[in-house]
Chains A and B, each alone.
Chain A
Amino acid sequence: GQQLNQSPQSMFIQEGEDVSMNCTSSSIFNTWLWYKQDPGEGPVLLIALYKAGELTSNGRLTAQFGITRKDSFLNISASIPSDVGIYFCAGVIIQGAQKLVFGQGTRLTINP
């Protein structure tokens, strides 16, 4: 239904590696958002996507709005220790009463 499936749930990588995570749903979205949450802090908006096929970068981060409007991915290149945290995707569903729904998050751990 309106659930967002975010994967992977967790990642353990070496510093310098690239990271990829994605969100999928059976629903159609008109907006995709990617957030990062540090421990004990509020999520911070990283990237917002508004059009199908849109590819947007923010420094080492790149996100894309899937052509089908049902998915999005986030890539982080050349990871550094401060990339550690929980990454959430969020989307605005296009039909009915529009709701902002969140994925369950991807916990990123980096080994120096």
Chain B
Amino acid sequence: DSGVTQTPKHLITATGQRVTLRCSPRSGDLSVYWYQQSLDQGLQFLIQYYNGEERAKGNILERFSAQQFPDLHSELNLSSLELGDSALYFCASSVAANTEAFFGQGTRLTVV
């Protein structure tokens, strides 16, 4: 158990809908990262937060947004969902910005 908690584990929703994925980092970790992994693909970096502020942005679509709250948990919001958004979404956390990161178990999103 990495100590990073992601909910829900599975999510099935229809095209056009909006969903929110939640991540609780390891105790003491200030940095949270979000990654997207499509079937048999690598880890696509979406966005990183550090102590509540956006730190780095990857190839995140405009339909996607995220935030990190004062208690350091983070949420990834995906809207106007398309079939191609079906993927595993991982959250990772680290003590400082860009040190060793620990991953949650992921949320498997299926858009139908």
* Residues in A lying within 8 Å of B, measured CB to CB: 31, 33, 35, 40-45, 48, 88, 90, 92, 97-105
**A residues near B88, Cβ cutoff 8 Å:** 40
**B residues near A90, Cβ cutoff 8 Å:** 101
Report the Cα distance A42→B91, complex, angstroms.
9
> Is B83 among interface residues, defined by CB-CB distance under 8 A?
no
Contact present for B106 and A88 (CB under 8 Å) = no
- 4 closest Cβ contacts across the A-B interface? A42-B103, A104-B42, A98-B98, A92-B98
> Is B18 among interface residues, defined by CB-CB distance under 8 A?
no
Min CB distance, A8 to chain B, in Å?
14
Report the Cα distance A41→B108, complex, angstroms.
10
* Tally of contacts, chain A with chain B, CB under 8 A: 57
Interface string of B23-58 (1 = CB under 8 A from A): 000000000010100000011010010000001100
Chain A facing B: main interface SS: strand
Would A42 and B98 be within 8 Å (CB), given that A88-B43, A97-B56, A101-B45 are in contact?
no
Min CB distance, A90 to chain B, in Å?
8
Would A44 and B42 be within 8 Å (CB), given that A31-B98, A97-B55 are in contact?
no
Would A105 and B42 be within 8 Å (CB), given that A41-B106, A97-B56 are in contact?
yes
* Residues in B lying within 8 Å of A, measured CB to CB: 2, 4, 33, 35, 42-43, 45, 48, 55-56, 88, 90, 92, 94, 97-106, 108
Besides A35-B103, A45-B103, 4 other A-B contacts (C-beta < 8 A): A43-B103, A44-B2, A99-B48, A100-B48
